[in-house]
Amino acid sequence: MDLYRFIVSTEEEEIPVVAAAESEEAAFRIADREIQHNFLKKPKITDIALIEKKTIRKTGAGYLIQARKSYE
């Protein structure tokens, strides 16, 4: 299983999303589902960018979510 970090861009903002999934395709579905579940009205998504992928090991895996840098 892997941990995926996304930036979801809408017309109004950029939203960081982290998903644990068996495949990249499943991770994109999870990211979309999490956006739907966390907003009363689903925002219009303009882009979903996969920023980083890490393998989850027995000791775990994680991401530090920082403000987006201009080079990302």
- Quick one: average pLDDT of 8-23? 93
The per-residue DSSP string of 2-68 comes to EEEEEEEEESS-EEEEEEEESSHHHHHHHHHHHHHHH-SS---EEEEEEEEEEE-BTTB------PP
pLDDT at 1: 93
pTM assigned to the model: 0.81
| Mean pLDDT across 33-57 | 91
